[in-house]
Amino acid sequence: MSLFVEKYGGTSVADAERINAVADNVAKSHQQGHQMVVVLSAMSGETNRLLALADQIHPDADAREVDMLVSTGEQVTIALLAMALHHRGIDARSYTGGQVNILTDNVYGKARIVDIDAQRIRTDLEQNRVVVVAGFQGVDNEGNITTLGRGGSDTTAVALAAALSADECKIYTDVDGVYTCDPRIEPNARRLDKITFEEMLELASSGAKVLQTRSVEFAGKYRVPLRVLSSFAPDQGTLITFEENSSMEQPLISGIAYSKDEAKLTIVGVPDEPGVASKILEPISAAHINIDMIVQNVGDDGTTDFTFTVPRADFETSRNILESIAKSLLAKEVRADINMAKVSVVGVGMRSHAGVATTMFKALAQEGINIILISTSEIKISVVIDDKYLELAIRSLHKAFQLDESGNDITGKKQQ
Ligand code: ADP
Ligand code: ASP
Ligand code: MG
């Protein structure tokens, strides 16, 4: 007997028919004797619908009330799934995040889970109940409902799997695993049987929304066995592994991720002296805005241009902050561009193999694509480009790194 946490995303619970299909899948595992905790998203499109509704009422709605509103999407699906399980003769109970003590900080809209007391779930499981939990939501220490950021149901599932020491956390979605690139953008993308946790973390944080980044972080921290698979045609999917193969067997690049969610801000001509970077970035992070890439160029005249990228949703706020501090920093001007995209190539094979950057930049140059910003980590290279070249950039990189062929192995040996 195993304990599984299974998460079903929006398209997997899009209507009554899909919810019945989920119930059949859950019932099968339960009847095989497994303990089942199911985490659900809202029906696909529902979170967007609710956000648009809020926008019609108030263009800058209070964040607490927005969370109160958007958290309702998940309450609909959990109740319906519990009913569908009852209909199959299975004892099941649905719970909101607060009801199963998913405690978060109080940053509405992007709250972080700080603690889970899984006792209530354990008691239900001992009584042979299926526990159905609303994804994406928690409560702060004053009992206010919070939400975990878009795609946050993945994080609910992995965090619950960690708290319950589950045997596996299965993320059921509308693709049958993790691919070398988003298959909706790159038709030649290939499904991977396995991917290392580190690579998955880099792909997710670079925009591959198949898993929310926080969920991969949780999986890494608590060593949660994690699998991504399709709810439409369940197969073995992709396993996120913690083992590192020997570098000779690693493909050079495992995947490509992209993000259209980029905006660039530059504060031009600030004096080049200690403390300037922190004066610029402090108010941005105080507004809970995640800064991604940072570049600083020092000119001959003793001033510096400071450029960084933020998510598009935070563009206006960031620009306002920069404009409000520009004068006190003696800056010449603030430049801003919202039409940016980021493409990243990821692979642990990079560690032991030089030349990845050269291949990447060459492939982009051949298509006439200008690179605006570059950043690297041990296993990732990211470039920011004009977003109108995004698809072309992805296709040329997928080809340049031979990701469409099963066997882009640096030893020339075919991958299994
Ligand atoms: P869910 O509603 O089930 O959470 P999401 O839309 O959040 O589903 O995530 C699944 C989507 O992630 C896929 O439909 C696919 O378009 C996208 N995606 C992006 N990158 C990848 C990748 N490398 N492999 C698989 N899917 C990816
Ligand atoms: N319903 C939320 C969203 O659309 C959470 C999720 O689906 O994971 O972002
Ligand atoms: Mg998702």
* Degrees to nearest 5, angle at CA 340 with 337 and 343: 155
**Ligand 1 pocket mutation pick from 155, 173, 206 by most atoms within 8 angstroms of CB:** 173
The rounded Å distance from CA 169 to ligand 3 centre is: 14
pLDDT averaged over 10-residue windows placed end to end, the chain, 416 residues:
97 98 98 98 98 96 98 98 98 98 97 97 98 98 97 98 98 97 96 96 96 97 97 91 66 93 94 91 93 87 92 95 93 95 95 90 97 94 97 97 67 35
Give the per-residue pLDDT at 87.
98
Taking the C-alpha atoms of residue 148 and residue 212, their distance in angstroms, rounded to an integer, is 10
Q: Ligand 2 pocket, 172 CB below 6 A?
A: no
Q: Which domains does the chain have, with CATH numbers?
A: 3-173 (3.40.1160.10), 256-400 (3.30.2130.10)
**Residue 351 Ramachandran class (φ > 0 left, ψ -120 to 50 alpha, else beta):** alpha
pLDDT at residue 244 in the model: 66
Q: Are β-strands 303-311 and 294-298 bridged in parallel, bridged antiparallel, or unpaired?
A: antiparallel
pLDDT of residue 353: 83
**Cβ neighbours of residue 336 closer than 8 Å, sequence gap 6 or more:** 263, 264, 265, 266, 315, 319, 322
- Which residue puts its alpha carbon closest to atom 8 of ligand 2? 151
Q: What is the pLDDT of residue 247?
A: 47
